[in-house]
Amino acid sequence: MTISQFSERTGLRPKILRYYEETGLIVPELRSANGYRQYSDSQIETAQLVNSLRQADVAMSSISRTVTENGFQGRDDLHLDGPGLKPKISLRGVLENDSST
């Protein structure tokens, strides 16, 4: 989907999406021959997570670690994982790391 369609689906302005692309947080899945950004449905949850963390005043570096190093793939990564009840990605750890920087 185009940046305007992605913007409508995520509730994020295109300007914010371009900024997230510049910082490497949400990179369009591909660029069309005419240079238009093309996003996928699978990127919607990531965009919403990034924006929610920014709204919570979490530093970009902490968000970047959460999204890129931990390989966030959507809501399933935020669910508790198995008998140990350990989240695949700990948002508590993100917030704790952010407060120490």
Sign, Cα dihedral of 44, 46, 47, 49: positive
Per-residue pLDDT averaged across 72-94, rounded?
A: 48
Q: Give the HSE-up count for residue 81: Cα atoms under 13 Å, Cβ half-sphere.
A: 9
pLDDT in tens, 39-69: 999 899 889 888 888 888 888 888 887 776 6
Phi/psi of residue 23, nearest 5 degrees: -85, -5
CB 78 within 8 A of CB 87: yes
Kind plus residue range of the DSSP H or E element containing 52: helix 44-55
Q: Distance between CA atoms of 96 and 23, rounded to whole angstroms?
A: 22
pLDDT in tens, 68-82: 665 665 544 444 344
Kind plus residue range of the DSSP H or E element containing 60: helix 60-64
Contacts of 101 (CB under 8 A, 6+ apart): 59, 61, 62
The model's pTM: 0.67
